[in-house]
């Protein structure tokens, strides 16, 4: 009897291990040994935030691909650069990757700065950037960048929409960064959404170099808002909410946030005070929703990323960008793997790719703007974790009209 | 006009840099060298004020921001060639430099430095609050959507061409300073530096020449800002913080304010050293530690900076080249 139980236990353990084993690329189990294929990635890590989760996850996935046959036996050499939120460094990083290293594609980028500086260069060099943690308008309004994440505009509009439709918000104050194509762009769209509904919206913008969260909080309160929507990098958002907690404002206002606060470490950092109070828009589906990609992403991260690496939306997004890129490369003629133009065409040909991490299909296409991901999920901070309060829903804003037209033309809608 | 030995070396090195550097540098280093050239222009302005008049300007990088702002604003507002935008940007920075000089004229030493530092702080706040033009509407020209294209000069369409263009602008900047040094202005500045009372007694218009120095320094900073704007296509307030102006001035002291080579060393330390550290995978902020040590070295053992030491090594005649 004891032996049978032990045997059954071993079987269950093996099954669990098998489930947790990552699956990547050709999944051959044999390490790739050929000439490396160079792929680049640029992330921003300095004040006011660390966006390296996307490139870390993309690197983990590429390492997994390399351990599983690579691309036709050739490993991916993933070269990453930190722009430190500095336009000069961002331009230098892109020049190094595109002109010196001659990468065939850029995958997993995450920055406030890089895309704004380099969008013209990407077009000029005919390279496609499959970004993952985009936060500026250029990510979504240029021909050679496509991002797997939504960026602050859809996430902010989506959060405001939920607060209006389900929490009765009438007057929303958006707290953003005073970077024109980030804070004013996304909070401005939220104001437009509120005005379209006959409601009130306003923005409070912080200096990213020296953000004063207390002043922002006071300005937000002075606006007469009933809902405060935090649209800041996670570290800064937590500091803002701590200031609100010190003032005892948790129950006086309704609270919402765009996606940066959807991070596993956030509920603990916020503490019990915010339990059930803080509603957060998740640009990708919740990590506990289950599904092949949700499981595989964590397995890849556990096997190939440092233990302390963030497991957040940007990490999911980096994983997915790397996965879609790898699949496009696997389908490409092996003779053209080093041909940047052929790789760009292969990426632009991606259409209708699906993942349980996304609410809709992923596509690229030949267009002047790209925003394949524009539907999300709302969660609330609950019991030291997150609880889904509204599953996949489309956002309601005139901003998405040209994107919906594109999807119709591609037969995706 | 007599060409000094160090001047001749400078001209030869400039010619070599203009011809060879853009051909040898890769994509990343083309960008780094262009930034270096832009900051060399600003450094020569700060160095010349310090060396010729003993005036400390801690607003030089902030003034670069003015030049960059005007260049970007004109680019997005009118269809003028890059040269016109650059020159108007530099001229407006120069005028602003002169205006800022007026209340500062009665100040010397520490107090003058503090006033310029406050100006740098004020500019930092303005840049952060209003940002840099990117093709949007209104006076500030800041749009929340896609940045408009920055037109580059005809001869500087590529990154290599633009570096060559920037180097020529920097060479002209050096020659402008050298021209001033050898003219009545240079003699007036030398007299003012020794004694304002003696200068007044000799009939030198101290107010005019001090203001002119601020204007010239502003012009060079404005040119540097315009070159940086042309290289990147857009600018960010973080580049022009007051702390950057202080750092640039500290490096001017390290490089050697009296010599053309000092401005080159300053800019190389300011932009090339962090680039090298980044390439080696070391945090570029470590450069600040080296800069601190270098400043101590300069203050203790090398009053003429690294450039003074280098010239001292190669030629005893270096002393004759000083003002």
Which residues does chain A have within 8 Å of residue B232's beta carbon, measured at their own beta carbons? 87-88, 91, 117
Contact B145 A137 (CB under 8 A): yes
Residue B316 has what pLDDT?
A: 58
Q: Which residue of A has its CA nearest to B281?
A: A81
Question: Looking at the structure, do residues A81 and A62 belong to the same domain, yes or no?
Answer: yes
Contact B238 A91 (CB under 8 A): no
A123 falls within a domain: yes
Question: Looking at the structure, do residues A262 and A203 belong to the same domain, yes or no?
Answer: yes
Residue A300 has what pLDDT?
A: 96
Residue B166 has what pLDDT?
A: 96
Instruction: Judge whether B313 and B303 are in contact, CB under 8 Å.
Output: no
Residue B68 has what pLDDT?
A: 96
Going by pLDDT thresholds of 50, 70 and 90, the confidence category of residue A6 is: very low
Percent of all residues in chain A with a pLDDT value above 70, rounded to a whole number: 95
- Structural domain including A226 reads 152-282+377-409
Question: Looking at the structure, do residues A383 and A396 belong to the same domain, yes or no?
Answer: yes
Task: Please determine, for residue A397, whether its predicted confidence score (pLDDT) is greater than 50.
Answer: yes
Contact B28 A96 (CB under 8 A): yes
Q: Which of B149, B163, B166, B236 to mutate to test the interface with A (most CBs of A within 10 A)?
A: B236
Residue ranges covered by each domain of chain B = 28-137+147-241
Residue B323 has what pLDDT?
A: 43
A 297-356 near B (Cβ less than 8 A): none
Question: Looking at the structure, do residues A268 and A303 belong to the same domain, yes or no?
Answer: no
Question: Looking at the structure, do residues A265 and A404 belong to the same domain, yes or no?
Answer: yes
Contact A207 B128 (CB under 8 A): yes
Average pLDDT, chain A: 90
Question: Looking at the structure, do residues A277 and A403 belong to the same domain, yes or no?
Answer: yes
Percent of all residues in chain A with a pLDDT value above 90, rounded to a whole number: 74
DSSP label of A36? P
First to last CA, chain A: 57
Tokens of A269: 């950092």
Task: Please determine, for residue A17, whether its predicted confidence score (pLDDT) is greater than 60.
Answer: no
Contact A88 B278 (CB under 8 A): no
Residue A203 has what pLDDT?
A: 96
The shortest CB-CB distance from B235 to any of A87, A142, A209 is to A87
Residue B318 has what pLDDT?
A: 47
A15 falls within a domain: no
Which residues does chain B have within 8 Å of residue A135's beta carbon, measured at their own beta carbons? none
Contact A86 B236 (CB under 8 A): yes
Instruction: Judge whether B148 and B229 are in contact, CB under 8 Å.
Output: no
Contact A180 B142 (CB under 8 A): yes
For residue A322, the domain's CATH number is 3.40.50.2300
Task: Please determine, for residue A138, whether its predicted confidence score (pLDDT) is greater than 90.
Answer: no
Query: What would the mean pLDDT of A315-327 be, rounded to a whole number?
Result: 96
CA dihedral A367, A43, A113, B42 (to 10 degrees): -130
> pTM (2 decimals)?
0.86
Residue B146 has what pLDDT?
A: 67
First to last CA, chain B: 16
A327 falls within a domain: yes
3-state secondary structure A39-95: EEEEECEECCEECCHHHHHHHHHHHHHHCCCCECCECEEEEEEECCCCHHHHHHHHH
DSSP secondary structure string, A395-412? ---GGGHHHHHHHHHTT-
Which residues does chain A have within 8 Å of residue B31's beta carbon, measured at their own beta carbons? 88, 91-92, 95
Residue A393 has what pLDDT?
A: 94
A387 falls within a domain: yes
Query: What would the mean pLDDT of A288-307 be, rounded to a whole number?
Result: 92
Which residues does chain B have within 8 Å of residue A205's beta carbon, measured at their own beta carbons? none
Number of domains observed in the structure of chain A? 2
Question: Looking at the structure, do residues A240 and A348 belong to the same domain, yes or no?
Answer: no
Residue B18 has what pLDDT?
A: 92
Residue A179 has what pLDDT?
A: 83
Question: Looking at the structure, do residues A111 and A126 belong to the same domain, yes or no?
Answer: yes
Q: What angle do CA A152, A405, A144 make, to 5 degrees?
A: 55
Question: Looking at the structure, do residues A62 and A120 belong to the same domain, yes or no?
Answer: yes
CA distance A29 to chain B (A): 31
- Contacts with A202 (C-beta within 8 Å, 6 or more apart), sequence order: A171, A172, A173, A174, A191, A223, A225
Task: Please determine, for residue A14, whether its predicted confidence score (pLDDT) is greater than 90.
Answer: no
Residue B270 has what pLDDT?
A: 92
- Report the complex ipTM: 0.84
* Residue ranges, chain B, pLDDT below 50: 318, 320-323
Which residues does chain A have within 8 Å of residue B136's beta carbon, measured at their own beta carbons? 180
Residue A9 has what pLDDT?
A: 44
Going by pLDDT thresholds of 50, 70 and 90, the confidence category of residue A20 is: low
A 107-136 near B (Cβ less than 8 A): 113, 116-117, 119-120
Residue A48: asked if its preceding bond is cis (omega within 30°), the reply is: yes
- Contacts with A253 (C-beta within 8 Å, 6 or more apart), sequence order: A225, A226, A227, A228, A244
Task: Please determine, for residue A406, whether its predicted confidence score (pLDDT) is greater than 50.
Answer: yes
Question: Looking at the structure, do residues A168 and A244 belong to the same domain, yes or no?
Answer: yes
Contact A209 B134 (CB under 8 A): no
Task: Please determine, for residue A26, whether its predicted confidence score (pLDDT) is greater than 70.
Answer: yes
Q: Is A337 helix (H, G, I), strand (E, B) or coil?
A: coil
Cα–Cα distance, B322 to A411 (Å, whole number)? 74
Going by pLDDT thresholds of 50, 70 and 90, the confidence category of residue A137 is: confident
A323 falls within a domain: yes
Task: Please determine, for residue A2, whether its predicted confidence score (pLDDT) is greater than 70.
Answer: no
Going by pLDDT thresholds of 50, 70 and 90, the confidence category of residue A210 is: confident
Contact B237 A138 (CB under 8 A): no
Contact A87 B239 (CB under 8 A): yes
Q: Which residue of A has its CA nearest to B241?
A: A209
Question: Looking at the structure, do residues A384 and A247 belong to the same domain, yes or no?
Answer: yes
Question: Looking at the structure, do residues A385 and A249 belong to the same domain, yes or no?
Answer: yes
């Amino acid at each position: 009897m004891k032996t049978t139980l032990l045997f059954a236990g071993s079987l269950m353990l093996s099954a669990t291990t098998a489930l947790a084993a990552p699956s990547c690329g050709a999944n051959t189990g044999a390490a790739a040994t050929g000439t490396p294929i160079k792929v680049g990635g640029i992330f921003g890590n300095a004040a006011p935030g660390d966006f390296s989760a996307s490139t870390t996850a993309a690197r983990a996935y590429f390492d997994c691909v390399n351990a599983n046959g690579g691309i036709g036996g050739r490993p991916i050499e993933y070269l990453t650069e930190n722009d430190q939120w500095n336009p000069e460094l961002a331009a230098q990083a892109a020049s190094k990757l595109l002109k010196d290293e001659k990468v065939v594609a850029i995958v997993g980028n995450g920055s406030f700065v890089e895309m704004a500086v380099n969008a013209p260069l990407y077009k000029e060099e005919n390279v496609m950037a499959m970004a993952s943690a985009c936060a500026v308008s250029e990510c979504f309004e240029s021909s050679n960048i496509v991002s797997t994440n939504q960026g602050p505009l859809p996430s902010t509009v989506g959060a405001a929409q939920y607060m209006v439709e389900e929490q009765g918000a009438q007057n929303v104050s958006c707290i953003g960064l005073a970077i024109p194509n980030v804070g004013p762009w996304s909070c401005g769209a939220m104001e437009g959404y509120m005005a379209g509904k006959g409601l009130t919206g306003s923005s409070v913008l912080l200096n990213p170099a020296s953000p004063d969260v207390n002043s922002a909080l006071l300005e937000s309160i002075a606006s007469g808002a009933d809902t405060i929507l935090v649209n800041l990098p996670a570290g800064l958002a937590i500091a803002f909410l701590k200031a609100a907690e010190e003032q005892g404002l948790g129950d006086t206002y309704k609270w919402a946030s765009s996606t940066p606060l959807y991070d596993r470490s956030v509920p603990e950092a916020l503490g019990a005070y915010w339990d059930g109070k803080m509603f957060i828009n998740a640009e990708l589906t919740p990590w506990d929703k289950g599904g092949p990609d949700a499981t595989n992403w964590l397995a890849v991260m556990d096997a190939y990323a440092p233990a302390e690496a963030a497991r957040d939306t940007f990490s999911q997004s980096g994983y997915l960008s790397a996965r879609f890129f790898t699949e496009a490369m696997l389908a490409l003629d092996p003779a053209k793997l080093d041909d940047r133009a052929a790789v760009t065409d292969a990426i632009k040909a991606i259409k209708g790719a699906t993942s349980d991490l996304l609410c809709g299909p992923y596509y690229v296409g030949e267009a002047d703007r790209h925003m394949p991901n524009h539907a999300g999920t709302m969660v609330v901070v609950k019991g030291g974790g997150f609880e889904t309060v509204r599953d996949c829903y489309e956002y309601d804003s005139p901003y998405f009209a040209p994107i919906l037209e594109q999807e119709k033309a591609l037969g995706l809608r | 006009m007599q060409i000094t030995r160090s001047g001749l070396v400078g001209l030869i090195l400039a010619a070599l840099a203009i011809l060879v550097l853009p051909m040898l540098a890769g994509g990343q280093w083309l960008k780094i060298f262009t930034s270096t050239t832009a900051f060399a222009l600003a450094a020569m302005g700060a160095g010349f004020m310090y060396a010729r008049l003993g005036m400390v300007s801690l607003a030089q990088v902030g003034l670069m921001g003015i030049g960059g702002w005007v260049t970007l604003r004109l680019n997005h507002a009118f269809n003028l060639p890059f040269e016109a935008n650059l020159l108007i940007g530099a001229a407006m920075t120069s005028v602003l430099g002169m205006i800022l000089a007026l209340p500062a004229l009665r100040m010397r030493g520490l107090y003058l430095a503090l006033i310029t530092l406050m100006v740098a702080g004020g500019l930092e706040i303005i840049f952060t609050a209003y940002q840099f033009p990117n093709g949007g509407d209104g006076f500030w020209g800041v749009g929340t959507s896609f940045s408009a294209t920055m037109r580059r000069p005809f001869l500087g369409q590529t990154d290599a061409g633009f570096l060559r263009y920037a180097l020529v602008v920097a060479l002209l900047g050096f020659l402008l300073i050298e021209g001033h040094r050898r003219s009545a202005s240079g003699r007036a500045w030398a007299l003012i530096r020794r004694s304002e009372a003696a200068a007044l007694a000799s009939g030198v218009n101290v107010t005019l020449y001090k203001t002119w120095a601020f204007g010239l320094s502003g012009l060079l900073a404005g040119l540097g800002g315009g070159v940086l704007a042309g290289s990147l296509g857009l600018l960010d307030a973080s580049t022009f913080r007051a702390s950057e102006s202080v750092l640039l001035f500290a490096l001017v002291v390290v490089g050697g304010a009296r010599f053309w080579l000092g401005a080159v060393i300053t800019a190389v330390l300011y932009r090339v050293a962090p680039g090298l550290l980044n390439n080696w995978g070391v945090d570029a902020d470590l450069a600040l530690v080296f800069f601190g040590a270098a400043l101590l070295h300069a203050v203790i053992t090398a009053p003429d900076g690294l450039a003074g030491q280098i010239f001292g090594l190669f030629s005893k005649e270096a002393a004759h080249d000083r003002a």
